[in-house]
Amino acid sequence: MHRLPRHRQIKVFEGFAGYGGASFGLRRAGIRHKVVGYSEVDEDAIELYHYNFPNVRNLGDITQLDPHSRSFPDFDLFTGGFPCQPFSTVGKRQGQEDERGRGTLFGDIIRICEVKQPQYILLENVKGLLTGKMRATFEIILDELHRIGYDTRYAVLNSKDYGIPQTRERLWIFGYLGELPEGFSIVPPEEPLQGYLADFLDDNPAPELYKTQRQIARIHEIHHNDIFDVEEPLCYDIYNRKIRTDRICMTVTPPEHNVIRIIEPMQNGEERFRKLSLDEHFRLMGFRMDGVNNEILFPPTQNYTKLGRRAGNGWDVNLVGILLNHIFWQLL
């Protein structure tokens, strides 16, 4: 990834901030920036964000923010991985008319950006927004961005195509206030893997991550599969009851979804079957985690489930860095 030439500092507002995926990605891309504020309501996410970016102010619930208020700073870039559902469904449930996304969290993005007019908007969502019943919602999203002055591009990008051995497909939407340059592309050139799954795992995983032989036998009984005998650590897909032999991890999800396990080579005739560690969760989300200079720091008050949930709901910061670098090389 090439470093950008020197440019003026970009002011950033992170909506739906989570652990600060945009902030970590901007740092990775080498883009001079200042985060002037963020919006997050999940207490655990707020604590994790503040632990890593203690000087950035949380402006609170995005639905309550007033873009006309003097306390709401101006910014150049809005970022957010917003929750989404068909607008018509929301409207029926709430008893209101919102075919244009009004009354939804996407509606708050439009409400704020229509007033603040940032030069850039970067949004993320699941690829399912492009298909089936969700397609109509996606078309409204583009229409609304166009209505308030933004030229848009979108693409589904997969983490495994940009260095990280995780199948993680996400929809990225980029909006530019005005008209994008001719030939602009949101899709960065693909990059080789930095390693396979085995290269992203801990050298000495904690014993409590492992299932007992009795628990493993029960999994065989339920899943009707053979002994777990592999030559290198591989991902086991609990949902589909099979080993991923492509040496790539399936999509990292919150721990309560309970879908990923790691199978390791047998030791002393015993099978090895375990959960991902927290460092592994975040390594597969693009973070550099060497145990000494970890790129993200964990608050001591947060447990496995809380931190694992943040990883599963977060942005692949390696991909975000590549994407932002690619975008701004064409614009700055």
Which of the residues are catalytic? 84
What is the C-alpha to C-alpha distance for residues 255 and 11, in angstroms, rounded to an integer?
A: 34
**81: which DSSP letter?**
-
Secondary structure of residue 6 in the 3-state scheme: coil
The answer to whether the beta carbons of residues 153 and 185 sit under 8 Å apart is yes
Alpha helices by DSSP H, listed for the chain, are: 21-29, 43-52, 87-94, 105-116, 134-147, 213-223, 278-283, 304-312, 317-329
SS3 101: coil
Identify whether the C-beta of residue 157 lies closer than 8 Å to the C-beta of residue 127.
no
Q: Where does 30-76 have alpha helices with state H?
A: 43-52
With residues binned 3-state (H G I as helix, E B as strand, rest as coil), the percentages for the chain, rounded to 5, are 35, 20, 45
Looking at the DSSP assignment, which residues form a beta bridge with residue 7? none
User: CB-hemisphere CA count at 13 Å for 296?
Assistant: 32
DSSP labels, 193-256: -S--GGGGS-SS--GGGBPPHHHHHHHHHHHT------SS-EEEETTTTEEETTS-B-----GG
Strand 234-237 to 169-177 pairing: unpaired
User: Phi/psi of residue 181, each to 5°?
Assistant: -60, 150
Q: Token digits for 24?
A: 């970590």
